[in-house]
Amino acid sequence: MRTLREPGSPREPGIGPLGRIPIRECGEPLVDLRVACPEVVAACRFPFARRTVAEMLVRAARALPEGWRLKVQTALRTPEQQAEGYWGHYRKLAERHPEWPRHILRREANRFWHPPDAKAPPGHCTGGAVDVGIVDAESRGVDLTATRKPGQSAQPTYSLHLTPDARAHRRALIRAMADAGFSNCADEWWHWSYGDSAWAGRTGAPFALYDRIALLPPEVLAELARIVGCDEQDRQSHQTGPRRSGGPYDERGA
Ligand SMILES: [Zn+2]
């Protein structure tokens, strides 16, 4: 899969430098996106984010072209969910490339998933990061990823492989999210954040505002228990089947 980006498009600061950015946790609470921003389609299984992030999502949603709705595919992750995603991706890479030594596997895994054991907290574990897309008035996904030839990479935000339509749609998303105050991971068009270490690293802020969420509030824990209960029911009813899918973004990292 060839990766080609627009000249001058942003580069990610890297995991190491992010760990050196101070964090001054501001103590802002998590909110339920289904309540805090009903105009946003909260398609994630764990729809919680920091209060300011929810307010910014409302602004971004209102800035989209008429008839389009902002869809949040992933928001908060627990450290366990982040670790499960990261090490699952690492194992797939190891199976695909048995010749790679461990440090290469870690480097490649880190490009797509924020390592759960890094000093800088993964953005999704702070409540500051969201993975987004757009749906139309009929809830159909708006094309943000079509490439001119099969197999070309659409993942970099400023990929040069996009069709003119996909590029125009993506521009509308970029404009709405950036104007609302989010910063984007240039390797992943869908990943946006505010207040976490990656946001500070990209914007030059002297410190991050959001640390890992150490203690989940009771309403978030209740939702987590409900999700785990549903998963357990699914496992029991499909003894050998795959885990319930969370949608097309399941394999997406960061
Ligand atoms: Zn993400």
Gap from CA of 189 to ligand 1 centroid (Å): 9
The CATH number of the domain holding residue 166 is 3.30.1380.10
Gap from CA of 237 to ligand 1 centroid (Å): 30
Token pair, residue 206, equals 């002297």
Gap from CA of 59 to ligand 1 centroid (Å): 19
- Global pTM reads 0.87
Q: 209: buried, middle or exposed (CB in 10 Å: 19+, 13-18, 0-12)?
A: buried
Q: Using one digit for the tens of pLDDT, what is the confidence trace for 55-100?
A: 999 999 999 999 999 999 999 999 999 999 999 999 999 999 999 9
In this structure, is residue 10 part of a structural domain?
no
In this structure, is residue 252 part of a structural domain?
no
Q: Using one digit for the tens of pLDDT, what is the confidence trace for 9-53?
A: 887 777 888 999 999 999 999 999 999 999 999 998 889 999 999
Gap from CA of 163 to ligand 1 centroid (Å): 23
Q: Using one digit for the tens of pLDDT, what is the confidence trace for 121-159?
A: 999 999 999 999 999 999 999 999 999 999 899 999 999
- Under the banding of pLDDT at 50, 70 and 90, the label for residue 223 is confident
Whether pLDDT at 227 is above 50: yes
Domain that holds residue 173: 15-236
In this structure, is residue 21 part of a structural domain?
yes
* Nearest CA among 68, 74, 71, 73 for reference residue 37: 71
In this structure, is residue 248 part of a structural domain?
no
Total structural domains within the chain = 1
In this structure, is residue 83 part of a structural domain?
yes
Residue 208 to residue 206: CA distance in whole angstroms: 7
Residue 230 to residue 224: CA distance in whole angstroms: 10
Gap from CA of 16 to ligand 1 centroid (Å): 18
In this structure, is residue 128 part of a structural domain?
yes
CB atoms within 10 A of CB 48: 26
In this structure, is residue 245 part of a structural domain?
no
- Under the banding of pLDDT at 50, 70 and 90, the label for residue 251 is very low
